[in-house]
Structure 1
Amino acid sequence: MSGLKLAFILDLAGIGFGISNIPLYIALAETFQDSFGTAHSAVSFIGNFGMMLIPLLLEYWREKYGLTGSLVLFGALMWNQIVSGVLLESKASTEHRKEPIDEEAETSSIAPRPDPSASMEDSGGIYHAIIAHPTIPCFYAAQCIHMLVMVSWCMFLLPYGVEKGYTQGEAILLTTIGGFGFSLGRGLVIFVFYLKWQSRLVLIITPISLATVLFVLTVFTNDLILLCFESGIIGICLGYISSWMFSYGRDITCLHHFNSTAAWSMLSLGTGMICSGPLSGSVYNIRGTYDDVFIFLTILAVVEAVTIIASISLNRRSPSCDYGDK
């Protein structure tokens, strides 16, 4: 298979993954509304274990059925999302038909209270959403930067360990412990949203600041045990921030504009993911050392912290949307 054909297929797969995430994101908001943050952080935490299971499952299928067979089975596994989406839509339609007609509401001069899920329709697009919630661009910039930092760290952690003089088997410990820390960080966010602490600056600036400091310390650390410790803490911080950003999307806007902003939120995350390789790779090519990449990630983490502080601070001061409370 040519490189161009492979890139085209991977692009299509990436588009499919992105599109499949948006309906789930919106469905959670419609279903849980004010508890969206808790629900979404729990879903992200559980989904993280699925991500860890997939490589093992693919390897088992590859040994048993070959590379082509394993990819076919993986594609078939993804079709469960179509079934889930159909069941979700069927359930929503059934509940809508079963709703009793309130005759008094029809004859009363007082208009009945609108259904919150209905308020998510006809939002007027992203332009009207930004007018109503001017903090959105700042928050999406923070999302893009965070994804750039996180993906770059994941990509270059293993070769960075090799560059420091360790074997590939030893360097894998860095990614393994970092991945475990990432899962733990996502789990912590569940309690933050459950306790309604998601807007407390100290609970989001602390992990960003800690990750920033550890990026610098990693450059000057050569001991494997210390590197593993730093990798685990960075993983916790990045996993925490990643899950918080996804779940905080409901707090940054109202239900009426949520549909319009969901796709743009995914776009900001995808942009950061796409740019991570070329930008970090360009930094590496300047002097041919991964030390420069980690310094670059440190600078980005500082910029990310500033944009998040601005987003939360402005969001607190912004008035409620004309269509209702956030």
Structure 2
Amino acid sequence: MEILISNVISGFGLGMISLVTTVDLGETFGDQFGIVFSISTLISSVAMMLMPLLLDYWLRVYGLSWAVALLGALMWNNVPCGLMLFENYTSIWRCDDPNRRILPNQDLGLPGTSSQANDECPAPNQSPKGRNILLAHPSLTFAILTRLFNSVILFAWAIYLVPFGVSKGYSPSTAVFLSTSGGAGIFVGRTICIFVYHFQLMHSLPINVGGVVASLCMMVAFNIAESFSSLCTLSFVAGALVAYLGSWMQAYTIYVVCKKHFKTAVALSNSITGAGIVAAGIISGLVHDIRGSYNDVFIFLSLSAACQVLCIIPTILLIKSSKCDL
């Protein structure tokens, strides 16, 4: 019970950090948010790859109690970083047109960038008299569902990579390299996301739908491949695709809604991501217990990827119909 409570508390803290920093990046960098946010996720993926090695070293040298204590001490860097963030907080919208939508490509004729849409977004100090956020921005509903399916796929895939390798007949010490390959793929996928936003390709349906379809194929291929090198390759590619789509969707929130609704949209998106993380282990675990095979878990993930395809298409296409106030 103590472990469960501590995990809930730590998860709550990490979720709040993600929420606050995402909002601050959006309001500070504006039209560069996609690039900056993608860089931040890339840095975090490096930390995720290094942390297991660091914890293993601390465990062997200092023991479990001191390893946990050192991890807690390392996490305290969030306190001074948070104070610095608060101290230097600035909003690019304070000296800008209060009616401006947070859409960096307003002059490029991309979805949701028409001047008419900009004119319909009221100033922050005006009381909203139109529809709520989900009705005003229909694309947000599908964006949130995309995040839900992506978090289910990413976390269930990460949880079951090693036991899946063991079920294929490999030792745990060998199967762990499936996770290492996936971590390297995550790093590559988040790197790709930086270039997608840099070259203004974030609204491209072929790129994003193609990525989901490819990840669906990777999940199905896990059931076919037998050699360890093939499984590592599939793990790398799947990690790259799923991580790219996760980073793209997080950064894409700022393009989906107007400035007035941005904070609420980030909160909704992060909450749904948390729900997906919770559901990932429960649902995939039930699939394994009922079916008795890890292969069926990856079939379930491929079905989740198919649902993600159906959510990404309206997420992009419905941006042009988003309005802050009607």
Residue 34 of structure 1, aligned match among 31, 34, 43: 31
1:220 partner SS: coil
- Matched with 1:21 is 18
Contact 2:185 2:239 in 1 (8 A): yes
Alpha-carbon deviations, 1:51-96, whole Å to 9, x = none?
1122222233333433222222222222222212222222237x99
Q: Aligned equivalents of 2:123 and 2:188: distance in 1?
A: 35
1:219 partner SS: coil
Contact 1:179 1:232 in 2 (8 A): yes
Residue 167 of structure 1, aligned match among 158, 168, 171: 171
Contact 2:288 2:297 in 1 (8 A): yes
Q: Aligned equivalents of 1:222 and 1:319: distance in 2?
A: 47
Change (3 A) 1:113 1:295: closer
% of aligned pairs identical?
Answer: 32
Q: Aligned equivalents of 2:175 and 2:83: distance in 1?
A: 44
Q: Which amino acid aligns with 2:162?
A: L
Q: Which amino acid aligns with 1:14?
A: G
Q: Aligned equivalents of 2:179 and 2:55: distance in 1?
A: 19
Query: What TM-score, normalized by structure 1, do the two folds share?
Result: 0.86
Whether 1:67 aligns to 2:64 is yes
Q: Aligned equivalents of 2:58 and 2:127: distance in 1?
A: 45
Residue 92 of structure 1, aligned match among 86, 89, 94: 89
Change (3 A) 1:224 1:92: closer
2:89 partner SS: helix
Mapping for residues 1-326 of structure 1, pairs under 5 Å: 4-92=1-89, 113-114=97-98, 128-315=132-319, 317-322=320-325
Count the aligned residue pairs.
Answer: 304
Q: Aligned equivalents of 2:70 and 2:167: distance in 1?
A: 37
Structure whose CA Rg is larger: 1
Choose between structure 1 and 2: higher helix proportion: 1
Q: Which amino acid aligns with 1:166?
A: Y
- Tell me which moved more, 115-124 or 172-181: 115-124
Change (3 A) 1:119 1:89: farther
Change (3 A) 1:283 1:320: same
1:284 partner SS: helix
Change (3 A) 1:149 1:7: same
Following TM superposition, by how much is the alpha carbon of 1:223 offset from its aligned partner in structure 2, in angstroms?
A: 1.5
Q: Aligned equivalents of 1:140 and 1:63: distance in 2?
A: 42
1:228 partner SS: helix
Q: Which amino acid aligns with 1:217?
A: A
Contact 2:24 2:89 in 1 (8 A): no
- Tell me which moved more, 43-52 or 57-66: 57-66
Q: Aligned equivalents of 2:146 and 2:86: distance in 1?
A: 33
Alpha-carbon deviations, 1:241-294, whole Å to 9, x = none?
111111111111112111112111110100000000110011111221111111
Contact 2:223 2:298 in 1 (8 A): yes
Contact 1:123 1:259 in 2 (8 A): no
- Tell me which moved more, 174-183 or 51-60: 51-60
2:138 partner SS: coil
Following TM superposition, by how much is the alpha carbon of 1:295 offset from its aligned partner in structure 2, in angstroms?
A: 0.9
Query: What TM-score, normalized by structure 2, do the two folds share?
Result: 0.86
Alpha-carbon deviations, 1:160-191, whole Å to 9, x = none?
11111122222122111111011101100000
Change (3 A) 1:293 1:18: same
Alpha-carbon deviations, 1:187-226, whole Å to 9, x = none?
0000000111101011111111111112112101111121
Q: Aligned equivalents of 2:63 and 2:39: distance in 1?
A: 34
Q: Aligned equivalents of 1:175 and 1:313: distance in 2?
A: 35
Q: Which amino acid aligns with 1:292?
A: D
Change (3 A) 1:76 1:119: farther
Following TM superposition, by how much is the alpha carbon of 1:123 offset from its aligned partner in structure 2, in angstroms?
A: 8.2
Q: Aligned equivalents of 1:233 and 1:289: distance in 2?
A: 23
Change (3 A) 1:170 1:196: same
Following TM superposition, by how much is the alpha carbon of 1:119 offset from its aligned partner in structure 2, in angstroms?
A: 6.0
Instruction: Give structure 1 stretches of 5+ with no counterpart.
Output: 101-111
